[in-house]
Structure 1
Amino acid sequence: MRAIHRLSKILQPITIISKGSNNPHKDVTSKSQRLMLELGVIQQAHTGSFHFLPLGLRALDKLVKIVDEEMASIGGQKIMFPTLVKADLWTTSGRADAMGSELMTLKDRHNHKYILCPTHEETASHLLQSLAPISYKRFPLLIYQITSKYRDEMKPRFGLIRGREFVMKDLYSFDVDKLSAMETYEKVAGSYDRVFKRIGINFVKVLGTSGTMGGDLSHEYHYRAAIGDDKIFVCHNCDFSANVDLMKTEKCPKCDEGKNVSIQSSIEVGHTFLLGDKYSKPLNAKYLSHNAKPQLLQMGSYGLGLSRILAASVEVLSLEQEMRWPDSLAPFNVVVVPPKAGSREEATVGPLAERLYASLEREVPELKQNVLLDDRTNLTVGRRFLDARRVGYRFVIVLNKLSSEDPPQFEMNDLARNSQMVLQENQIIKYIKENINT
């Protein structure tokens, strides 16, 4: 039996804010956090940590699917490292002291110290070291995971944008020499470009800082946003851009332009590092060369903050009181709103809403499992339409008195274009096919 996504069955605790009532989220300083909380996409568990409710998890799953497809296209193999890692590995690499209080640590009953990892360079290197030296013929090797990470933020803020627990995709590459490591770096960076293009929000790729991660080369991916903690230097005369921490001059180092440049606030959503042997050397991660001698591996590290990308997308696109999503990540792309129970329209249109639902899923490939029926027919059409606008479903289709005509007509709302049309079923299908993801 075909499953229908019914809004009445979805756990979505919407905060109703009436005139004179107290808004529990009034002090939230980013619109993405406030809207995601008010509209039941996430729920705060404790400071810096959040529950992903059904709509939030649907959006995250869509992002994971995009990332998995692009990682597979470059030969990435998906694995899962333990989150709890012995602190000895980080002491060996030198990062335990470098990161200091940002690391979340604990001790077991035997007084052994562990780290709740924010990233897994040491773990990946230790894995390679623990295996018998692998032949040079097996490289490059690209392994990645998508898991929760932890960082003891002093001041967690902006919801999923800067929390103590976050979902990250981290990939680690191993190569036999610097030249092949650079080729792998460019290949992975190209896959990141495709990920962000598929998401559909304008991004900026800049020369980045290596920080405590170390290495010889680094690039960052940013979304421009007023609340962003990062500052990026952008030259509008050429294609150069960089984290401002790298800049010692107000002029572009590439074209020497000094006037047509700007400093912009942004949110970092991805980072790539060419690490060399920074981790493979202290952790003794080697391969077996063509002359049967063990040699140090060259390494790269590549991160995408998936939970941060979700929140940053909402931050960039949303209105103050209405959430907006890129089509690629929206929990649902279409919501169908049937008439109110007991109304004259309900009596005349019958099961038309469910038939339209089925037709949309059948005729538009992108809408498979992406249509929602707002069956809360005890509420007015106006109230349900307002909820759909606030949650940010791209296409809102309302059944009204015109839907009882032959052939039926529907009120079609495209929130991305702020337009409303009256269309027949075949016209709706054609319109969505032409406009989704644009």
Structure 2
Amino acid sequence: MVRLLRLSLPHPVASRAHYNDSSRGKRLLLSRLYQPGSLWKENPSELQHKSNEPSSKSQRLMYKAGLIRPSSPGCFHYLPYTVRSMEKLIRLVDKAMQEIGGQKINMTTLCSAALWRQSGRWDLVGKELLCLKDRHNQEYCLGPTHEESVSDLIATEGGIGYKRLPLLLYQITRKFRDEKRPCFGLLRGREFYMKDMYTFDITEEAACQTYNNVCEAYCNVFSALGLKYVKVQADTGNIGGKMSHEFHLPANIGEDKLLVCGSCDFAGNVEVLQPDETNCPMCKEQLVESKGIEIAHTFYLGTKYSSVFNAVCYDSQNKPSVAEMGCYGIGISRLLAASIEVLSTEDDIHWPNLIAPYQICLIPPKKGSKETAALAAAEELYHDIRAVHHMRDEAILDDRDHLTIGKRVKEAHMMGYPYVIVAGKKALESPPQFEVHCHRTGDVHLLSKEGVLNFIQGVQVI
């Protein structure tokens, strides 16, 4: 059984006035952050009622660390650490999408039932839609995806001229789906964040090139996060289209069954393979079954939606053609939780370093201890770390000096800071030496202030 650590409540701020009154500028103090304790340990019956399912590792850790709190089945409040991590992940995805020509938009959450009926999906998707009526008895759904909306937008504006092709429009917004059995925290919920992109081309050949470009951008995102992912052939489902791929993180808790070839690049979701297929269709070697958490899905739609809504592209002769479309999704909140699921231990969170809420936690000595005299060296180091431009908002000071260093180090590792810097006994030496704990590797380096500053120059942020 996993023993869950209850985080300590903040100590009264009056005893630490010296941290706040510094003339060196406002500091990021851990005691000031809103970070509730372990809800999983304190309210197991309430959690069971709200989550409705046994927890995954990522859900347990996110509760324990005060990262999320349940609101209703499948819906969660995102607390400060999670919001910081999500914002970084969104910046990473924004950069990748814009590098291939993506333009960011923001479509309405309320989607007209008339558009969904026009495409035939109102009844096809059915109970998964969260539906409502306004005072005029007009029907809507809370958008789980926006193929109809974006196709209607392009059609209403008269189509797309060849000089604007390929057109890649994307958004990162909250989506809604009436999951029958929400479970595992952010891995399967009713309300979630998704990046959805919709592309328009004039020919099938151009559309396939755009499809490949987006898939490559997805691979770059997951590689930048240090995640081992699998790209598999997939069913097009109720979205439809001519071709589809899923991106998975292999994990025992995954709800998708995959068949992966160890000899070539082939991998497929069992949904698209023959029930008795055990050999790779490409190289005939044995396929190995595994489970995966789906983090992204791509579709080559062809003209499935553009023909219904008359979304057209114009060539250089001003001749219209029904647009060849693609749609591409990354589950942003699911990706965050899935990365915690596959990288973390049972007791400690391990973030992808790029999207860790803070890169550094600096732990000064306990008040009244033998190391109290090292406080001045710790404060000077903290000031100098924040003077490094890309670290200014990435270093947090654990000013809860009523706690031992050991207690705070343990909590820091549970929270998953990539680097924990301790001002202990060695900080009393001349010159002061600081312990730098690397969370990913478990290595501990003893460095001078200059050594610490040189070390953090190489820490990447986004």
TM-score of the superposition, structure 1-length normalised?
0.94
Read off the aligned partner of 2:376 and give its amino acid letter. Answer: P
Q: Give the equivalent residue in structure 1 for 2:377.
A: 352
Q: Are the aligned partners of 1:41 and 1:53 in contact in 2 as well (CA < 8 Å)?
A: yes
Q: Which residue of 1 aligns with 2:199?
A: 173
Match of 2:12 in 1: none
The question of 1:124 aligning with 2:145 is answered no
Confirm whether residue 413 of structure 1 aligns to residue 409 of structure 2: no
Gaps of 5+ in 1: none
SS across alignment from 1:194:
helix
1:328 to 341, 350, 354: 354
Match of residue 317, structure 2, among 267, 274, 291: 291
SS across alignment from 1:221: strand
Is the partner of 1:211 in helix, strand or coil? coil
Query: Quick one: structure 1 residues 274 and 2, their matched pair in 2 at CA, closer, same or farther if it must change by over 3 Å?
Result: farther
Q: CA deviation at 1:432?
A: 4.4
Kindly provide the CA deviation profile for residues 369-423 of structure 1, in whole angstroms up to 9, marking residues without a partner as x: 2111101112222221111111111211111121021110112211211223322
2:253 corresponding residue in structure 1: 227
Taking the TM superposition and a 5 Å limit, the aligned residue runs for 1:74-113 are: 74-113=100-139
Q: Which residue number corresponds to residue 251 of structure 1?
A: 279
Do 2:40 and 2:60's aligned partners in 1 also have CA atoms closer than 8 Å?
no
Aligned-residue CA RMSD (Å): 1.9
Q: Report if the CA contact (8 A) 2:39-2:63 is conserved.
A: no
Deviation at 1:428, TM superposition (A): 2.8
Task: Give the superposition deviation at 1:150.
Answer: 0.3
CA distance in 2, matches of 1:233, 1:373: 47
Runs (5+) with no aligned partner, structure 2: 1-23
Deviations along 1:324-368, one digit per CA (max 9) or x if unpaired, are 11101111111000111222322x1233223212323444x6534
The equivalent residue for 1:4 is 27
Alignment of 1:144-155 (within 5 A): 144-155=170-181
Structure 1 residue 95: deviation in Å? 1.2
Once residues 459 and 327 of structure 2 are traced to their aligned partners in structure 1, the CA distance between those partners, rounded to angstroms, is: 37
Matched position secondary structure for 2:445 = strand
Change (3 A) 1:316 1:366: farther
1:142 to 151, 168, 176: 168
Give the deviation of 1:134 after TM superposition: 2.9
SS in 2 for 1:328: helix
Cα displacement string for residues 184-223 of structure 1 (whole angstroms, at most 9, x for unaligned residues) = 1111111111111111111111112211111111111110
Residue of structure 2 in register with 1:191 after alignment: 217
- Total equivalences in the alignment: 431
> Equivalents in 2 of 1:172, 1:44: separation in Å?
32
Match of 2:230 in 1: 204
| Residue aligning to 2:421 | 397
Contact 2:241 2:304 (C-alpha < 8 Å) held by counterparts: yes
State the alpha-carbon separation in 1 of the partners of residues 39 and 127 from structure 2: 39
- In the alignment, which residue of structure 1 is the partner of 2:8? none
TM-score normalised by length of structure 2: 0.89
Conserved? CA contact 1:413–1:420, under 8 Å:
yes
Q: Would the aligned equivalents of 2:202 and 2:314 in 1 still touch at CA under 8 Å?
A: no
Equivalent residue for 2:409? Answer: 385
Q: Which string of whole-angstrom CA distances, capped at 9 and with x for unpartnered residues, describes residues 215-260 of structure 1?
A: 11111111011110111111001111111111111110000113xx
* Aligned equivalents of 2:445, 2:330: Cα separation in 1: 39
The counterpart of 1:14, out of the listed 32, 37, 43, is 37
One-letter identity of the residue aligned with 1:252: C
| 1:302 is aligned to 2:358 | no
**TM alignment of 1:417-428, pairs within 5 A:** 417-428=441-452
Q: How far apart are residue 434 of structure 1 and its match?
A: 5.4
